[in-house]
Amino acid sequence: MNSNKIAQTSSADNGPELHRVLEIASRGRNLAKVRAFIEKLAVECGFDDSDVFEIKVAVGEACANAIEHGSPKGGANTVRIITDYSQECLEIEVVDEGVFKPRFPAFDSQLNYRGRGIPFMLALMDEVEIKESEEGTTVRLVKCRG
């Protein structure tokens, strides 16, 4: 399942506005497609290379979490990436079909590379919000230019 719907409008006061949606099957191999989609969009919105990288990392983490934890039926589930750009801010929602289970990194004597996605998102984006519902989890990420 893949839809890439594009709507673009322009306003003299606020600059261009973009709305795009990407829907992927909940499989890890689709993460490259998500990163390419986000990179192209962020460049179109005028973000610099550093911001583009940060947005890709944060969205990649949110999508990886959605695939691993928010897909109770595995590849039969879908993940939607809904993007809106206006007034120099890019808002991205990653929507899955699972139940959110907060996890935090383990800080023990053993090296642990798990559980760092949310702290990465918080460090890289201007706003991060996680919304839970019966239909799934939505991670809302916002990055503003300037």
Sorted by where each starts, the structural domains of the chain and their CATH numbers stand as: 4-144 (3.30.565.10)
Pairing of strands 127-133, 78-86: unpaired
Categorize the per-residue pLDDT at 116 as very low, low, confident or very high, splitting at 50, 70 and 90: confident
Query: What are the CA-CA distances from residue 35 to residues 42, 63, 143 (Å)?
Result: 10, 10, 16
When pLDDT is cut at 50, 70 and 90, the band that residue 6 belongs to is very low
Residue 7: its pLDDT value, please? 43
Summarize pLDDT for 9-59 with one digit per residue, the tens: 444 445 568 999 999 999 999 999 999 999 999 999 999 999 999 999 999
Q: Residue 126 — pLDDT band, cuts 50, 70, 90? A: very high
